[in-house]
Structure 1
Amino acid sequence: MHSRTAKIALVSSHPEVYEPCDDSFALVDALLADRTNLLQHHPSICMEIGCGSGYVITSLAVMLGHEGFVPYYIATDINRHAIRATRETMDAHGVYTELVNTDITSGLEKRLAGSVDVLVVNPPYVPTPEDEVGCEGITSAWAGGENGRSVIDKILPAADTLLSEKGWLYMVTLTANNPSEICLEMRKKGYASRIILQRSTEEESLHIIKFWRDSDSELELNNLNYWTKLVMN
Protein backbone atom coordinates (compact mmCIF):
# COMPACT_ATOMS: atom_id res chain seq x y z
CA MET A 1 0.00 0.00 0.00
CA HIS A 2 1.31 3.46 -0.94
CA SER A 3 2.91 5.38 1.92
CA ARG A 4 0.53 8.29 1.42
CA THR A 5 -2.62 6.24 1.98
CA ALA A 6 -4.50 6.46 5.22
CA LYS A 7 -3.80 3.06 6.73
CA ILE A 8 -3.08 4.04 10.32
CA ALA A 9 -2.96 2.19 13.61
CA LEU A 10 -4.73 3.30 16.76
CA VAL A 11 -2.52 3.42 19.82
CA SER A 12 -5.05 4.56 22.37
CA SER A 13 -8.52 3.47 23.43
CA HIS A 14 -10.96 4.35 26.18
CA PRO A 15 -14.36 2.84 27.03
CA GLU A 16 -15.94 6.28 26.63
CA VAL A 17 -14.41 6.98 23.18
CA TYR A 18 -16.01 5.83 19.93
CA GLU A 19 -13.63 3.57 18.05
CA PRO A 20 -13.49 3.58 14.23
CA CYS A 21 -16.29 1.63 12.60
CA ASP A 22 -17.94 1.43 9.17
CA ASP A 23 -18.81 5.14 9.15
CA SER A 24 -15.26 6.21 10.02
CA PHE A 25 -13.82 3.88 7.40
CA ALA A 26 -16.27 5.16 4.77
CA LEU A 27 -15.33 8.79 5.47
CA VAL A 28 -11.61 8.06 5.19
CA ASP A 29 -12.17 6.04 2.00
CA ALA A 30 -14.08 9.01 0.54
CA LEU A 31 -11.24 11.37 1.43
CA LEU A 32 -8.74 8.95 -0.06
CA ALA A 33 -10.76 8.71 -3.27
CA ASP A 34 -10.72 12.52 -3.44
CA ARG A 35 -7.04 12.80 -2.48
CA THR A 36 -5.86 14.13 -5.86
CA ASN A 37 -8.38 16.96 -5.64
CA LEU A 38 -7.39 17.63 -2.02
CA LEU A 39 -3.74 17.94 -2.98
CA GLN A 40 -4.59 20.34 -5.81
CA HIS A 41 -6.80 22.25 -3.38
CA HIS A 42 -3.77 23.12 -1.19
CA PRO A 43 -5.78 23.59 2.02
CA SER A 44 -4.25 25.91 4.61
CA ILE A 45 -6.49 24.79 7.47
CA CYS A 46 -8.08 21.35 7.85
CA MET A 47 -10.53 20.75 10.67
CA GLU A 48 -12.55 17.89 12.13
CA ILE A 49 -15.61 18.34 14.30
CA GLY A 50 -15.98 15.39 16.68
CA CYS A 51 -12.58 13.72 16.38
CA GLY A 52 -13.26 10.73 18.64
CA SER A 53 -10.29 8.36 18.46
CA GLY A 54 -8.45 10.61 16.00
CA TYR A 55 -8.72 8.07 13.19
CA VAL A 56 -10.14 10.46 10.57
CA ILE A 57 -8.06 13.60 11.20
CA THR A 58 -4.88 11.53 11.49
CA SER A 59 -5.72 9.67 8.29
CA LEU A 60 -6.25 12.99 6.50
CA ALA A 61 -2.89 14.30 7.70
CA VAL A 62 -1.12 11.09 6.69
CA MET A 63 -2.70 10.93 3.22
CA LEU A 64 -1.81 14.55 2.46
CA GLY A 65 1.69 13.91 3.77
CA HIS A 66 4.46 16.31 2.78
CA GLU A 67 3.46 17.38 -0.71
CA GLY A 68 5.05 20.83 -0.67
CA PHE A 69 2.55 22.30 1.79
CA VAL A 70 1.66 21.52 5.40
CA PRO A 71 -1.89 22.42 6.42
CA TYR A 72 -2.70 23.50 9.95
CA TYR A 73 -4.89 20.85 11.58
CA ILE A 74 -7.45 21.50 14.28
CA ALA A 75 -10.00 19.12 15.82
CA THR A 76 -12.75 19.41 18.40
CA ASP A 77 -14.69 17.02 20.58
CA ILE A 78 -17.11 17.46 23.45
CA ASN A 79 -15.61 14.35 25.09
CA ARG A 80 -12.36 15.07 26.97
CA HIS A 81 -11.32 11.42 26.71
CA ALA A 82 -11.56 11.70 22.92
CA ILE A 83 -9.17 14.64 22.99
CA ARG A 84 -6.58 12.52 24.79
CA ALA A 85 -7.09 9.57 22.42
CA THR A 86 -6.72 11.79 19.37
CA ARG A 87 -3.54 13.38 20.72
CA GLU A 88 -1.96 9.97 21.28
CA THR A 89 -3.02 8.71 17.84
CA MET A 90 -1.59 11.74 16.07
CA ASP A 91 1.63 11.69 18.11
CA ALA A 92 2.17 8.05 17.13
CA HIS A 93 2.02 9.00 13.46
CA GLY A 94 4.21 12.08 13.67
CA VAL A 95 1.51 14.61 12.85
CA TYR A 96 0.24 17.56 14.86
CA THR A 97 -3.19 19.02 15.40
CA GLU A 98 -4.55 21.64 17.74
CA LEU A 99 -7.15 19.93 19.93
CA VAL A 100 -10.06 21.77 21.52
CA ASN A 101 -12.44 20.27 24.07
CA THR A 102 -15.68 21.99 23.07
CA ASP A 103 -19.20 21.41 21.75
CA ILE A 104 -19.04 21.45 17.92
CA THR A 105 -17.13 24.72 17.32
CA SER A 106 -18.18 26.74 20.36
CA GLY A 107 -15.67 29.49 21.08
CA LEU A 108 -13.89 29.12 17.74
CA GLU A 109 -16.29 30.82 15.33
CA LYS A 110 -14.78 34.29 15.56
CA ARG A 111 -11.18 33.08 15.33
CA LEU A 112 -11.73 30.67 12.41
CA ALA A 113 -14.54 32.38 10.52
CA GLY A 114 -14.05 32.04 6.77
CA SER A 115 -10.68 30.32 7.07
CA VAL A 116 -11.24 26.53 7.04
CA ASP A 117 -10.48 24.98 3.65
CA VAL A 118 -11.34 21.37 4.51
CA LEU A 119 -13.85 20.39 7.18
CA VAL A 120 -14.59 16.73 7.93
CA VAL A 121 -17.45 15.54 10.12
CA ASN A 122 -18.73 12.14 11.19
CA PRO A 123 -21.58 13.53 13.29
CA PRO A 124 -23.86 11.82 15.80
CA TYR A 125 -26.46 10.73 13.22
CA VAL A 126 -28.30 7.83 14.86
CA PRO A 127 -32.00 8.54 15.58
CA THR A 128 -32.37 8.54 19.38
CA PRO A 129 -34.51 10.19 22.08
CA GLU A 130 -33.69 13.89 22.28
CA ASP A 131 -32.58 13.61 25.90
CA GLU A 132 -29.60 11.50 24.82
CA VAL A 133 -28.19 14.27 22.61
CA GLY A 134 -25.11 15.92 24.09
CA CYS A 135 -24.75 13.40 26.92
CA GLU A 136 -21.35 12.93 28.45
CA GLY A 137 -19.18 10.04 27.34
CA ILE A 138 -19.53 7.76 24.38
CA THR A 139 -23.27 8.29 23.90
CA SER A 140 -22.50 11.76 22.52
CA ALA A 141 -20.72 10.08 19.60
CA TRP A 142 -23.89 8.65 18.07
CA ALA A 143 -26.99 10.17 19.69
CA GLY A 144 -28.57 12.33 16.98
CA GLY A 145 -32.07 12.93 18.32
CA GLU A 146 -35.16 12.88 16.11
CA ASN A 147 -34.27 11.53 12.65
CA GLY A 148 -30.63 11.79 13.74
CA ARG A 149 -30.65 15.44 12.73
CA SER A 150 -30.40 17.39 16.01
CA VAL A 151 -26.61 17.71 15.98
CA ILE A 152 -26.30 17.79 12.18
CA ASP A 153 -28.64 20.79 12.04
CA LYS A 154 -26.34 22.62 14.48
CA ILE A 155 -23.21 21.70 12.57
CA LEU A 156 -24.40 23.01 9.19
CA PRO A 157 -24.59 26.73 10.16
CA ALA A 158 -21.31 26.39 12.06
CA ALA A 159 -19.71 24.95 8.92
CA ASP A 160 -21.07 27.83 6.86
CA THR A 161 -19.41 30.28 9.26
CA LEU A 162 -16.05 28.51 9.31
CA LEU A 163 -15.58 27.51 5.68
CA SER A 164 -13.45 29.70 3.44
CA GLU A 165 -14.56 30.78 -0.01
CA LYS A 166 -12.88 27.66 -1.40
CA GLY A 167 -13.87 25.52 1.60
CA TRP A 168 -15.02 21.92 1.28
CA LEU A 169 -17.17 20.04 3.80
CA TYR A 170 -17.18 16.23 3.91
CA MET A 171 -20.00 14.80 6.05
CA VAL A 172 -21.25 11.32 6.91
CA THR A 173 -25.03 10.90 6.81
CA LEU A 174 -27.49 8.07 7.20
CA THR A 175 -30.50 7.46 4.95
CA ALA A 176 -32.74 8.24 7.96
CA ASN A 177 -31.18 11.72 8.12
CA ASN A 178 -32.75 12.57 4.73
CA PRO A 179 -29.52 13.51 2.88
CA SER A 180 -31.43 15.19 0.04
CA GLU A 181 -33.03 17.58 2.52
CA ILE A 182 -29.62 18.34 4.01
CA CYS A 183 -28.31 19.13 0.53
CA LEU A 184 -31.29 21.41 -0.08
CA GLU A 185 -30.66 23.26 3.18
CA MET A 186 -27.05 23.81 2.20
CA ARG A 187 -28.11 24.85 -1.29
CA LYS A 188 -30.11 27.67 0.31
CA LYS A 189 -26.82 28.82 1.84
CA GLY A 190 -25.13 28.77 -1.57
CA TYR A 191 -23.52 25.33 -1.58
CA ALA A 192 -23.42 22.70 -4.27
CA SER A 193 -23.16 19.09 -3.12
CA ARG A 194 -22.35 15.62 -4.33
CA ILE A 195 -22.54 12.18 -2.75
CA ILE A 196 -19.01 10.90 -3.27
CA LEU A 197 -19.43 7.55 -1.57
CA GLN A 198 -22.33 5.29 -0.63
CA ARG A 199 -21.91 2.20 1.49
CA SER A 200 -24.45 -0.23 2.89
CA THR A 201 -23.72 -2.34 5.94
CA GLU A 202 -25.86 -4.86 7.78
CA GLU A 203 -27.18 -2.09 10.01
CA GLU A 204 -27.20 1.11 7.97
CA SER A 205 -26.88 2.83 4.62
CA LEU A 206 -24.21 5.53 4.66
CA HIS A 207 -23.71 8.53 2.38
CA ILE A 208 -20.59 10.69 2.38
CA ILE A 209 -21.54 14.10 1.01
CA LYS A 210 -19.13 16.76 -0.19
CA PHE A 211 -20.27 20.40 -0.09
CA TRP A 212 -18.61 23.44 -1.65
CA ARG A 213 -19.58 27.07 -2.17
CA ASP A 214 -21.26 27.70 -5.51
CA SER A 215 -23.09 30.96 -6.19
CA ASP A 216 -24.90 29.33 -9.12
CA SER A 217 -26.62 26.92 -6.71
CA GLU A 218 -28.16 29.77 -4.75
CA LEU A 219 -29.14 31.54 -7.97
CA GLU A 220 -30.80 28.39 -9.34
CA LEU A 221 -32.70 27.92 -6.08
CA ASN A 222 -33.90 31.54 -6.11
CA ASN A 223 -35.08 31.13 -9.69
CA LEU A 224 -36.85 27.89 -8.79
CA ASN A 225 -38.58 29.54 -5.83
CA TYR A 226 -39.61 32.46 -8.04
CA TRP A 227 -41.17 30.26 -10.71
CA THR A 228 -42.84 28.04 -8.11
CA LYS A 229 -44.52 31.05 -6.51
CA LEU A 230 -45.48 32.40 -9.93
CA VAL A 231 -47.15 29.14 -10.96
CA MET A 232 -48.95 28.74 -7.61
CA ASN A 233 -50.35 32.25 -7.90
Structure 2
Amino acid sequence: MRDLAWDGYPNARDLGGLPTPLSPTGATAFSRVARGPRRELLTDSGWAAANTWGLRTVIDLRCAYEIGRRDGDPAVSPGALNGTIVISAPTEDQSDLEFQRVCFPILDSPEYWQHNWRLQPHLVRTTFETIAAARPGMLVHCSAGRDRTGMISALLLGNAGVPPDAVADDYTRSVRAMAGSASHAPTTDRQAAWTAAEVDDWLTTATPTVRETAERAAEIFDTLGVAHPVRTRLRDLLTAP
Protein backbone atom coordinates (compact mmCIF):
# COMPACT_ATOMS: atom_id res chain seq x y z
CA MET A 1 0.00 0.00 0.00
CA ARG A 2 2.97 2.35 0.45
CA ASP A 3 4.18 2.10 -3.16
CA LEU A 4 2.51 4.68 -5.37
CA ALA A 5 1.79 3.63 -8.96
CA TRP A 6 1.94 7.06 -10.58
CA ASP A 7 2.66 6.65 -14.28
CA GLY A 8 6.20 7.56 -15.33
CA TYR A 9 7.24 8.03 -11.72
CA PRO A 10 9.57 5.46 -10.14
CA ASN A 11 10.58 5.39 -6.49
CA ALA A 12 7.35 6.94 -5.22
CA ARG A 13 6.05 5.98 -1.79
CA ASP A 14 3.60 7.14 0.82
CA LEU A 15 5.25 7.76 4.20
CA GLY A 16 2.16 6.26 5.81
CA GLY A 17 1.95 2.74 7.17
CA LEU A 18 5.21 2.73 9.10
CA PRO A 19 5.18 1.65 12.76
CA THR A 20 5.21 4.30 15.48
CA PRO A 21 4.06 4.33 19.11
CA LEU A 22 3.12 8.00 18.74
CA SER A 23 0.07 7.30 16.58
CA PRO A 24 -3.21 5.98 18.02
CA THR A 25 -3.32 3.52 15.12
CA GLY A 26 0.25 2.34 15.71
CA ALA A 27 1.34 3.51 12.27
CA THR A 28 2.04 6.71 10.38
CA ALA A 29 -0.92 8.17 8.50
CA PHE A 30 -1.46 7.61 4.80
CA SER A 31 -2.06 10.36 2.23
CA ARG A 32 -0.28 13.04 4.26
CA VAL A 33 3.25 12.95 2.79
CA ALA A 34 4.69 11.12 -0.19
CA ARG A 35 8.27 10.99 -1.41
CA GLY A 36 9.57 10.70 -4.96
CA PRO A 37 11.94 11.89 -7.70
CA ARG A 38 11.70 14.94 -9.98
CA ARG A 39 8.08 15.71 -10.79
CA GLU A 40 8.84 16.29 -14.48
CA LEU A 41 8.79 12.50 -14.89
CA LEU A 42 5.04 12.34 -14.25
CA THR A 43 2.78 11.80 -17.24
CA ASP A 44 -0.76 13.14 -17.50
CA SER A 45 -2.09 9.88 -16.10
CA GLY A 46 0.59 10.01 -13.40
CA TRP A 47 -0.64 13.42 -12.30
CA ALA A 48 -4.21 12.11 -12.38
CA ALA A 49 -3.23 9.23 -10.07
CA ALA A 50 -1.45 11.65 -7.76
CA ASN A 51 -4.53 13.84 -7.62
CA THR A 52 -6.66 10.81 -6.79
CA TRP A 53 -4.22 9.99 -3.95
CA GLY A 54 -4.93 13.48 -2.62
CA LEU A 55 -1.99 15.56 -3.85
CA ARG A 56 -2.39 19.21 -2.96
CA THR A 57 1.16 20.48 -2.48
CA VAL A 58 4.56 19.73 -4.01
CA ILE A 59 7.67 20.57 -1.98
CA ASP A 60 10.63 20.76 -4.36
CA LEU A 61 13.99 20.31 -2.60
CA ARG A 62 16.10 21.10 -5.68
CA CYS A 63 18.12 24.18 -6.56
CA ALA A 64 16.50 26.51 -9.08
CA TYR A 65 18.78 25.54 -11.97
CA GLU A 66 17.72 21.87 -11.67
CA ILE A 67 14.03 22.56 -12.21
CA GLY A 68 12.34 22.14 -15.57
CA ARG A 69 11.52 19.73 -18.35
CA ARG A 70 14.41 17.85 -19.97
CA ASP A 71 14.77 15.84 -23.15
CA GLY A 72 12.85 12.62 -22.70
CA ASP A 73 10.45 14.00 -20.09
CA PRO A 74 6.77 13.55 -20.96
CA ALA A 75 4.75 16.47 -22.25
CA VAL A 76 1.83 17.14 -19.93
CA SER A 77 -1.34 19.14 -20.42
CA PRO A 78 -1.64 22.60 -18.80
CA GLY A 79 -4.30 21.35 -16.38
CA ALA A 80 -2.42 18.24 -15.24
CA LEU A 81 -1.52 19.69 -11.85
CA ASN A 82 -5.22 20.32 -11.13
CA GLY A 83 -4.56 23.20 -8.75
CA THR A 84 -1.61 21.59 -6.95
CA ILE A 85 0.66 24.23 -5.42
CA VAL A 86 4.40 23.84 -6.08
CA ILE A 87 6.73 25.32 -3.45
CA SER A 88 10.49 25.61 -3.81
CA ALA A 89 12.31 24.70 -0.59
CA PRO A 90 15.92 23.81 -1.49
CA THR A 91 17.91 22.01 1.17
CA GLU A 92 21.26 23.18 -0.21
CA ASP A 93 23.04 25.95 -2.08
CA GLN A 94 25.19 24.12 -4.58
CA SER A 95 26.89 27.33 -5.70
CA ASP A 96 28.62 27.61 -2.31
CA LEU A 97 32.28 26.71 -2.82
CA GLU A 98 32.72 25.02 0.54
CA PHE A 99 29.60 22.93 -0.07
CA GLN A 100 30.98 21.94 -3.47
CA ARG A 101 34.37 20.97 -2.00
CA VAL A 102 32.99 18.89 0.85
CA CYS A 103 29.71 17.52 -0.48
CA PHE A 104 29.95 17.13 -4.25
CA PRO A 105 32.08 13.94 -4.06
CA ILE A 106 29.49 12.30 -1.77
CA LEU A 107 26.13 13.75 -2.86
CA ASP A 108 24.95 10.24 -3.72
CA SER A 109 25.46 9.08 -0.13
CA PRO A 110 23.94 9.90 3.28
CA GLU A 111 27.51 10.67 4.29
CA TYR A 112 26.99 14.25 3.10
CA TRP A 113 23.90 14.91 5.25
CA GLN A 114 25.89 15.97 8.33
CA HIS A 115 27.82 18.47 6.22
CA ASN A 116 24.60 19.93 4.85
CA TRP A 117 23.42 20.49 8.43
CA ARG A 118 26.76 22.03 9.41
CA LEU A 119 27.31 24.27 6.39
CA GLN A 120 23.75 25.33 5.53
CA PRO A 121 21.49 24.66 8.52
CA HIS A 122 19.26 27.61 7.65
CA LEU A 123 18.25 26.02 4.35
CA VAL A 124 17.37 22.64 5.86
CA ARG A 125 15.50 24.37 8.69
CA THR A 126 13.49 26.41 6.17
CA THR A 127 12.61 23.21 4.32
CA PHE A 128 11.08 21.74 7.47
CA GLU A 129 9.26 24.98 8.24
CA THR A 130 7.84 24.91 4.71
CA ILE A 131 6.63 21.33 5.09
CA ALA A 132 5.07 22.14 8.47
CA ALA A 133 3.15 25.06 6.97
CA ALA A 134 2.05 23.28 3.79
CA ARG A 135 -1.30 21.70 3.10
CA PRO A 136 -1.23 17.92 3.72
CA GLY A 137 -1.40 15.67 0.74
CA MET A 138 2.09 16.70 -0.22
CA LEU A 139 4.83 15.27 -2.38
CA VAL A 140 8.39 15.94 -1.20
CA HIS A 141 10.91 15.39 -3.97
CA CYS A 142 14.40 16.15 -5.26
CA SER A 143 16.00 14.70 -8.41
CA ALA A 144 16.28 10.96 -7.77
CA GLY A 145 14.07 10.99 -4.67
CA ARG A 146 16.86 9.29 -2.81
CA ASP A 147 19.43 11.60 -1.20
CA ARG A 148 17.93 15.00 -0.32
CA THR A 149 14.50 13.38 -0.11
CA GLY A 150 16.07 10.56 1.91
CA MET A 151 17.52 13.03 4.39
CA ILE A 152 14.24 14.91 4.87
CA SER A 153 12.25 11.66 5.07
CA ALA A 154 14.61 10.13 7.64
CA LEU A 155 14.25 13.15 9.93
CA LEU A 156 10.47 13.38 9.43
CA LEU A 157 10.09 9.70 10.28
CA GLY A 158 12.52 9.81 13.19
CA ASN A 159 10.66 12.80 14.61
CA ALA A 160 7.42 10.81 14.25
CA GLY A 161 8.79 7.93 16.33
CA VAL A 162 9.34 5.47 13.50
CA PRO A 163 11.99 2.90 14.53
CA PRO A 164 15.43 3.46 12.95
CA ASP A 165 15.39 0.08 11.22
CA ALA A 166 12.12 0.94 9.46
CA VAL A 167 13.55 4.32 8.41
CA ALA A 168 16.66 2.64 7.04
CA ASP A 169 14.49 0.16 5.13
CA ASP A 170 12.58 3.02 3.54
CA TYR A 171 15.88 4.57 2.41
CA THR A 172 17.08 1.20 1.11
CA ARG A 173 14.00 0.90 -1.08
CA SER A 174 14.85 4.18 -2.77
CA VAL A 175 18.43 3.14 -3.43
CA ARG A 176 17.28 -0.13 -4.98
CA ALA A 177 14.60 1.62 -7.04
CA MET A 178 17.02 4.10 -8.61
CA ALA A 179 20.20 2.03 -8.99
CA GLY A 180 21.09 1.63 -12.65
CA SER A 181 18.86 4.54 -13.68
CA ALA A 182 20.03 7.58 -15.58
CA SER A 183 21.53 10.13 -13.23
CA HIS A 184 19.57 13.28 -12.50
CA ALA A 185 22.18 14.67 -10.11
CA PRO A 186 24.35 17.77 -10.69
CA THR A 187 27.48 15.70 -10.08
CA THR A 188 28.63 12.18 -10.86
CA ASP A 189 26.11 9.66 -9.54
CA ARG A 190 27.95 6.42 -8.90
CA GLN A 191 24.68 4.60 -8.34
CA ALA A 192 23.55 5.23 -11.91
CA ALA A 193 25.81 2.37 -13.05
CA TRP A 194 25.47 0.00 -10.11
CA THR A 195 24.30 -3.58 -10.28
CA ALA A 196 22.09 -5.15 -7.62
CA ALA A 197 25.15 -6.80 -6.07
CA GLU A 198 26.98 -3.47 -5.85
CA VAL A 199 23.93 -1.94 -4.19
CA ASP A 200 23.83 -4.71 -1.59
CA ASP A 201 27.49 -4.20 -0.76
CA TRP A 202 27.21 -0.41 -0.51
CA LEU A 203 24.11 -0.48 1.68
CA THR A 204 25.97 -2.30 4.44
CA THR A 205 27.99 0.89 5.00
CA ALA A 206 25.27 3.45 4.15
CA THR A 207 22.31 2.28 6.22
CA PRO A 208 23.97 2.78 9.64
CA THR A 209 24.08 6.53 8.88
CA VAL A 210 20.37 6.51 8.08
CA ARG A 211 19.57 4.66 11.31
CA GLU A 212 21.66 7.10 13.32
CA THR A 213 19.90 10.04 11.66
CA ALA A 214 16.50 8.69 12.71
CA GLU A 215 17.75 7.99 16.25
CA ARG A 216 19.21 11.50 16.58
CA ALA A 217 16.32 13.40 14.96
CA ALA A 218 15.71 15.57 18.05
CA GLU A 219 19.40 16.40 18.38
CA ILE A 220 19.69 17.20 14.67
CA PHE A 221 16.63 19.44 14.87
CA ASP A 222 18.42 21.25 17.72
CA THR A 223 21.44 21.73 15.46
CA LEU A 224 19.25 23.05 12.66
CA GLY A 225 17.35 25.36 14.98
CA VAL A 226 13.94 23.83 14.22
CA ALA A 227 11.49 25.32 16.70
CA HIS A 228 9.51 22.97 18.92
CA PRO A 229 6.10 24.04 17.53
CA VAL A 230 7.40 23.14 14.06
CA ARG A 231 8.56 19.74 15.30
CA THR A 232 5.14 19.13 16.85
CA ARG A 233 3.39 20.09 13.64
CA LEU A 234 5.65 17.75 11.64
CA ARG A 235 5.00 14.93 14.09
CA ASP A 236 1.23 15.50 13.99
CA LEU A 237 1.36 15.53 10.20
CA LEU A 238 2.34 11.87 10.26
CA THR A 239 0.72 10.66 13.49
CA ALA A 240 -2.42 12.63 14.37
CA PRO A 241 -5.83 11.14 13.47
- TM-score tier (shorter): 0.3 to 0.5
- Kindly name which structure, 1 or 2, has the bigger radius of gyration based on alpha carbons: 1
Report the TM-score when normalising by structure 2: 0.36
Report the TM-score when normalising by structure 1: 0.37
Choose between structure 1 and 2: higher helix proportion. 2
Which structure has more relative contact order (CA 8 Å, sep 6+)? It is 2
